[in-house]
Structure 1
Amino acid sequence: MIQICDDKLIFQLLLLVSVVACETKEILTFTAHERGRVEIQCPYESRYEAHEKYLCRGGCPRLYKDKVVESGSSARGERFSLTDNKTAHIFTVTISDLRTEDQGQYWCGVETGLRKWDVFTEIHLEIKHVSRVSGLSGQHLYIHCHNKSELKNDVKFICKGSDPSLCETSAIRASSEIKSNGRFSLSDNKSTGVFTVTITNLTEEDSGIYWCGAAQRGQEHKNKWISVIDLNISAGLTLIIIMVMVIGILTGFGFSLFIYLRQRQKKEGTQPTDVAQGPSKNLPGGDMRETREVDCDYEDISSTLYHPDYSLVFPAFAEHDDSVYALAQLPSSPSDEINYSSIRFTTTHHSDRTSDGQETCDYTTVRP
């Protein structure tokens, strides 16, 4: 009976030691942002190289383990993956496409073969909301970071990098101690709890994820992340606006010029004459002559008739030399539009010839 009591006492002592060990073990904190990714690194002892590893969420040390991913088995979702570096004795769990609901308590677990007596490391995952800010190339921008009152005396800083671990070593970094770094400068208003970062002469390369953070002096490696900014710098917006304005102005000018020339053309009546060739009909004297294509000289004849049925142009040669006739037929119902008639030319066999044997004639352009 005494032996049984001793066993119970030993069991209780072991349970108490395990609980105390869990509570005193350091909690590892990882911070990431929405739509980003995080790598949770879980160290373990070398004797557990061949043992199964896993990541569980919530009350993992209890009987039921909510495992989101484990080695040797498929993960619960495509966003989770696990890799084991047995040389470094660290297994890494990667979570991608992070959401706010992913925030919370996790446990890195290593199976020991003693049922519930697995080895655990507590993890706290923090997911930051992303504020999206836009700017134009060549201009300047102000980024405001709001911090809590307990961080009033801490060193404030801003750095660039999707992963905070990369952000810590980023070359683009300005702080309340180093107030200026190239085009980046920082001013801290402790009374309002807001520090402001100014970026001058923006470029497209300034686009990316920025972290506002704070740390106690002398403990810069223990950063406290305040907020996340997704900065997008557009280089072509101003140029596109200017191009659209120029195209609009040129289009309007071209359209106005077209209308002006059209109206002027109608007013002056400079549309081209439609000239056709063919056999002549109803010429004076009833002559029916063969139509030929000839080289002709012409002069303008302006008609003073407003409503003629037809206009007859007499020969330009001698009285009995009727080698050339032009018949201008105008429409019987004239309108406001400029109309031109077909002009037919005829020639006799005794028309003038040039030195090289080509026939010539004179003809006129008739305008109503």
Structure 2
Amino acid sequence: MALLFFIFLLTFVQDESTAVLSSSPIFGPKQVTGLLGGSITVKCFYPRSNVNRHSRKYWCKESTRRCSTLISTSGYVAPEFTNRASITDFPENGIFIIEISELGRRDMGQYKCGIGLNDKGLSFRVQLDVSEDSVMPDEAQLFYTEQHGSLTMTCDFGNQYASFRKYLCKMSKTSCSTVIDTHGNIDPSYKGRILLTYLDIPGSFQIIMTLLKKEDSGLYLCGAGNYGAEGESKKLDVHVYEGALVPKGQPILSGVQGGSVSVECHYDPKENVTIKYWCKWREHGCIQLIHNFGYVLDSYEGRIVMHDDPENGTYTIILNQLNEADAGYYWCMTDGQHERKSTAELKIVEGQPSLAVDNEIHAVASSPLTISCTYPCKYAHYEKYWCKWKNTGCEPLISSDQNEASLVVTCDKASRILSLKFDQVVPTDQGWYWCGVRHAGHYGETSAVYLQVQGDSSPNEELSSRINSENRDSLLNNGNEGPGAESSADGHEERKNTTVVLSVLLPLGVVFLLLVTLGVVVKLRLFKNSDLVSVASYRTNISMTDFENVRQYGAKDNVCMEEDHETQIGRMDEYITTTGSPKSKKAKRGSKEEVEMAYTTVLLKDNTIPTRSSQEQ
């Protein structure tokens, strides 16, 4: 009887020991295999707490009574492992690695990797096998994460499996149950918290699992094809431990039709996290709605905003104007090394929004405007604000004070009305405005209104608008005639260049005209006593002082000339005819005739032409 009791007690102790080991946060491979004369590498994971970072890590071999230390981070190495074993700790990653070379059959057996001063601390059991075969069995890839956290698993099977079904299944003693596949099948217990997406490389895909539970620990297979039949698969060993580093998040969100919800997403502010985004889960992917670089899905314009708080390692997503189609699962995503992905389910429930505003307001430019937002008593002690929505955020406007945009935010606590006043509405005021509340730095409910600004309908502005429109159409028509017309942008550039040229040439033209006018005035003064004459076809300026004998030999004393006297000037068809009696009235001669008479007088004086009497003889 005593022997039976002792056997039962021993079995109970062994079961309890196994349970303790399985619940230990230390995690490693259950089995490793090395070639005879070769080497192995064993990775053991542990929680990245301050205590564990500085604690002793060890590798020991089990016997019937104890686990003898072979090597540790304190510097100890057993004689039989000298020069063929090493242990390296990476506290920033929560992992230490044991390497053993020159394997022999004597190395086969049960081992433990652990943390603490002795083998009774936190540890994980590992089976080491040594094989003489040249083909090594596939070992499972290890994944170690804390409860409520997330993990990412990548599987690559090559281009030959690009068209095959992709899947993830969880192993049991007799089968492998499908968790998710590319045919749309999802285990109900994983719905909304697992995601399968294709990668750029053909035949490869990625699985993201979030809101992990203790029962998610176990051995999985990711594969291409069908389990147990055609295709290929890969082992994935997942261990979920209890930890306090990752917040539990908000698994369920409730919103009313036309209302809003807010979600806080967490990330490690110490990591170099560059991308933060929020997406809506579906069976074949996750549609990105907004990210921290200003992207917003078109159908969510004016409805969604992201508030980032790097100091606290959180970013808040606010979604308003809710409708039935918004129900579903949403994911918080980052690109941190230790990814902190979380998911929440949004449900649309019956009720009315607490904040009330008009959905759309029309205003005329240059007119005053007041937009009112009513709130219930439960928000009496909350901070209330108005903000103008942009794709990069919705920063609250200055409360109860006039800001640069001539906006005033006032709050009437007696009537529970938060007002946004415009002195004069301008076209740039058009857009989405949010009325919201927040408390202790956390954003709460919001309500959105769209402000539509129309132009002033006064007659003067209508006339000005019509004239500007006609001028614009005229310019466009002039600049875009014919089949080879340029675009309006080119016409605008051409008009711009023309304006620049005119602005340069006009002043130069004015200066040139002034210089010409000045030259004319000076020239007139210089030739005040000069006359403009013509000899044959040659024009020149001859001063009258050059002809001192004009009075002696000019037309005044030429009484011998016929009454009808023709004098050829210039071309053959140009004549000046003078008629009259020299006694009764003197013929009025022009300067041209006087010049020719003076020229004739000079010739007579030099006896170069015959006189009239000699001609008659």
Output the TM-score relative to the length of structure 2: 0.23
Quick one: higher RCO (CA 8 Å, sep 6+), 1 or 2?
Answer: 1
Output the TM-score relative to the length of structure 1: 0.36
